[in-house]
Structure 1
Amino acid sequence: MKEINTAVRTDAPEIMDDFELKGSELRQTLQDLNRVNKLLGGDRISIKGLKKLLSGIDKKEINIADVGCGNGAFLRHLAKWGRTHDYSFSLTGIDANPYAVEIAREQSSHFSEIKYLSIDVFEPEFRNLEFDMVICTLTLHHFKDEQLIELMNYFYDQSKIGVVINDLHRSSFAYRSFQAFCSVFINNEIARKDGLTSILRGFKRKDLENYKKFLPPAEHFISWEWAFRYLWIVKKRII
């Protein structure tokens, strides 16, 4: 069996990086990726991070952005969670793929607290947006180190309270485990290929520890989570 090199992050592209991907192929791939995320507890990890930032915060209207929202599955989950826990959320989903945003709007039509924007995160239009919190789930790994450090600084500047990152742990065991998982649960070729590439584009703890050095002062909480995730919480020092 070929050895998997996880010493450094790969810069191999993912099929989902093509923002022209659309139609039934995009719809099915997003559905399958969300299924994987749900089965492996991804939503739970993101909620855990948000709860850390929400602790001690008034349950007034809280504005949260989900960057790289895909078809909006997590925002719908968050909206339901917020209603159950008496939060007044204003939720904004942001994705560079306009076709994904179309699907998200269609599937979120019964959620008045959610809106969607199709924006490139490196355009001024994005940098001018402000939120209480920014969450980024399985999206940061799509960027090279220099880009993601720039992006994390945008998130820091845009958020009043803090940032939650939920992303993949880069390891050979995670890679082999996902191969086994796909053989049982995932038939979609794009989801299978991109899932494996995503792991190789993921992070080790030392990567996250290094990135935080490039951010302004804040409290950082980095934890490994099942299954093969890192949760990175950046809590701003509110004066």
Structure 2
Amino acid sequence: MSIFSQRSYQKEIMDDLEYSGPVLEQTLRELKTINRWLGGNQVTTNGLDRLVRDFPQSSYSICDVGCGGGDMLRVMHNWAKSRKLQVKLTGVDANPNTIELAKKRLADLDGIDWEVQNVFSEEFQKGKTDMLTCTLFTHHFTDEELVTLFRSFRKKAKLGIIINDLHRNPVAYYSIRFLTRLFSKSPMVQHDGPLSVLRAFSKKDWERILALADIKNYRISWHWAFRWQVSILV
């Protein structure tokens, strides 16, 4: 059986929520560069553009789940500024060390809230947000966990959910394997980069998981470089 025929559930180093220190900092720096070079950030802002167009409001709240080092929060801050939108941003991550790094990296930006939370907890569902985003986050979970997670997301988001994650594909796998070995100085990136592709999704995976979560109002689109955008209206 091909390694691409179904999702891998092998754990990544980043799944260790107590991970911290120089390796984590190097990893977050390299992930920022990778996402910028390969255009992955635009997958999220493209989805937000559509939600803003479909649901015009005077202001919006956006919760970025699995925010990591805060790179997407900065991207969304700049996106909102360029469109003259009033936006309240919140970054959520289960790793307190990551949140502390994100606070330092985005110290020049005002008005970002930070929450250390387990997204499977009841506490996470209590606060509402207009839009919920997650980037390179969903592949860390099993199909069964994602069904639970998406049901939780629907309770938290008022307007919509934008998911930005990888396409499980041989070209994507061997490309990131080559690039990380050639350019990366982070053992975590070298290990987790190719593995994240094996843990990622085909379109049929998305359709199956969304059906199990009783989600019908969605749109799946493919973007360069080997990214899926899943837009869910709630």
Corresponding residue of 1:61:
59
> Residues 39 and 224 of structure 2 are in contact (CA less than 8 Å); yes or no, is this contact kept in structure 1?
yes
Corresponding residue of 1:129:
127
Aligned residue among 87, 91, 94 for 2:92: 94
Corresponding residue of 1:163:
161
> Residues 96 and 116 of structure 2 are in contact (CA less than 8 Å); yes or no, is this contact kept in structure 1?
yes
CA distance in 1, matches of 2:119, 2:215: 23
Corresponding residue of 1:82:
80
- Three-state SS of the structure 2 residue aligned to 1:110 is coil
TM-score, reference length from structure 1:
0.93
CA distance in 1, matches of 2:2, 2:180: 17
> CA-to-partner distance for each residue in 1:154-180, whole Å, 9 max, x for gaps?
111111101011101112221111122
Ranges in structure 2 where 5+ consecutive residues have no aligned partner: none
Aligned residue among 43, 46, 51 for 1:45: 43
> CA-to-partner distance for each residue in 1:56-80, whole Å, 9 max, x for gaps?
3334220101100001011011101
Aligned residue among 9, 18, 32 for 1:20: 18
RMSD value over aligned CA atoms? 1.5
Q: Which range is displaced more, 24-33 or 177-186?
A: 177-186
- Three-state SS of the structure 2 residue aligned to 1:167 is strand
2:118 is aligned with what amino acid? D
> CA-to-partner distance for each residue in 1:73-132, whole Å, 9 max, x for gaps?
110111011011110000000000000000111122222231111111111211212100
TM-score, reference length from structure 2:
0.95
The alignment covers a number of residue pairs equal to 234
- Three-state SS of the structure 2 residue aligned to 1:55 is helix
Structural mapping, 1:101-180, within 5 Å: 101-180=99-178
> Residues 19 and 96 of structure 1 are in contact (CA less than 8 Å); yes or no, is this contact kept in structure 2?
yes
CA distance in 2, matches of 1:62, 1:185: 38
> CA-to-partner distance for each residue in 1:3-29, whole Å, 9 max, x for gaps?
961111111000000011112221111
Q: 1:217 to 1:29 in 2, by over 3 A?
A: closer
Ranges in structure 1 where 5+ consecutive residues have no aligned partner: none
- Three-state SS of the structure 2 residue aligned to 1:12 is coil
CA distance in 1, matches of 2:157, 2:112: 18
- Three-state SS of the structure 2 residue aligned to 1:46 is helix
CA distance in 2, matches of 1:113, 1:60: 17
Give, in angstroms, the shift of residue 217 of structure 1: 5.3
